[in-house]
Chains A and B, each alone.
Chain A
């Protein structure tokens, strides 16, 4: 076991899969000579050369579409978007083409492509650069969407994503690239579609994905001091969603708080909260709470931007609400 940062876990996944399969290649803005805007691809150009690590012009729609074409013609592209904010320019190719090729061709084609990069707010970046777009993507049948928040999950899920025969979106987080965690020395995969209990507890289930995982774990630590034992369920995979894991945990704790850094309307969080309300109705001892972003574009001012996002305090408050503690 080695303790490594998420960015290095992602790089190991890329490197291992590129070694394993000649058809895997990486392209995106600054992924080569600059070693990646967030240094995820450090060294890969040196190792694999310019045929397999390609610096693109700033043309998200074009190079993403090129990736889709390469995928249906037998390659396994990994497309890096510098951030998901810029991926909006590419969504036509993702939603109208990558997600639909299999279906429109009546099962003749497959589109094994990975779209990855940082999603969600970082710091001091204002409205255009601080957005969490998972709900835009999970909405679409034909796509798979994963959202790792530990080094172990990042590596294992990216490897699975590259091997998957479908388009898979990997949501990373700028703020989390430096977070470290243990990763086995031997090869492993994390299956797409499996949630993971990151902390066991009996009093309330915290359902979370992506970088708010860290907040949820901190909140659970705080709550433990007050003898409240929270179970933290990390979804990891947003589509397919591991519904069974969700219900199993809620059936045990009877209370549920969902945490999602996206806007609250029509989000992964609101969808999960609805699933729990519907399918665990008889098991619940309180309404399901959702801790989300405030329903506003992100302001630049730091005090404001922190107040907009989920926080440990907001999670604790929601837990106390479902426990009827004043």
Chain B
């Protein structure tokens, strides 16, 4: 039977990575952070409406895992908390912000909004609004890769709340018996809306659920982008080579409420502050400073640049056109 593993890579030296690679991870996380802050601000100004689920705090998960992929053949699917994944695969801040504004220049032509970022070319097959729905779909994408013999793997991200849906359990069984290269990533941020994991789950460690399907499971640190990257590298290589699924319980934390309308009264300020001490951006920055791979000035430059990109995306979205009324009849049938 497959054995579960606990991530062993706690404080691997970043020295074995070149400055360029590490800077790439840092900049990607900064871009997401500043983008999300801008999105929150625009929500406050009513430029964005509806549900808007921010990714602050979880940046290392999308960035570290996508960095370990080969998006020419691999795919990702995620939930409605999808801005970070969209940016991580290289979708432009402009196209994501314009989507949030509901403009025709948005990645989904203003049809999808915050929960439905898609970029078929970049193999980002969506933000899905139904909790757990992307899990069987991702399983099908992995099936297609295997069927076509592309050696592609599929990363499927979902929340700790989604793991109790039947769709999760049915999918893992299918992926196990059909040996599909699907990697199921629980972005375990401790809460499904206002519900703490321990109130609705009989186990704290979701990786143990892998055993029920005789597939490997692993707990992964989701606040440390480098260790997460290394874990994912190994897991992806294994899934690709042996065509088999994995279940990863990635421990992370969301800084904001569930969505913009959630005041998050169900947790304490202290808890939030404690997590912010292991902020993924600050952790990587500290390592790079220590190893003299970055200076404070350089960091500030990257941060300013990230703010500029976010602001530019707002300017782009502002001056983009609304979709014409007749577009409501488009994009329904192929």
Contacts and interface: CB of A to CB of B under 8 A. Distances in A.
Interface of A: 29-30, 33-34, 37, 55-62, 85-86, 88-89, 122-129, 294, 296-297, 299-304, 307-308
A124 B110 contact: no
B164 interface: yes
Contacts of A56: 200
A164 to B, nearest CB: 29
Interface string B314-334: 000000001101011100100
B111 A299 contact: yes
B323 A299 contact: yes
Interface stretch (B68-76, B187-195, B220-228): B187-195
Contacts of A308: 328
B194 A129 contact: no
Interface stretch (B11-19, B125-133, B245-253, B300-308): B125-133
Listed residue (A34, A124, A301, A303) with the most chain B CB atoms within 10 angstroms of its CB: A301
B254 to A, nearest CB: 16
Which size class do B's interface residues fall under? 35 or more
B50 A59 contact: no
Q: Is the interface of A mostly helix, strand, loop or mixed?
A: loop
A303 B111 CA distance: 11
B44 interface: no
Given A58-B161, A126-B50, A126-B116, A33 B266 contact: yes
Interface in B186-240: 192-195, 199-201
Main secondary structure of the interface of B (DSSP, over half): loop
B115 A62 contact: no
B161 A296 contact: no
12 contacts: A60-B165, A62-B166, A86-B131, A89-B166, A124-B113, A125-B51, A126-B115, A127-B116, A294-B328, A297-B332, A300-B111, A304-B325
Contacts of A62: 164, 166
A86 B51 CA distance: 15
B162 interface: yes
Nearest to B101: A301
B193 A301 contact: no
Contacts of A89: 130, 165-166
A218 B1 CA distance: 66
B50, B115, B161, B325, most chain A CB atoms within 10 A: B50
B298 to A, nearest CB: 38
B328 A302 contact: no
A51 B52 CA distance: 33
Nearest to B261: A37
A30 B200 contact: no
Given A33-B266, A34-B194, A86-B130, A59 B165 contact: yes
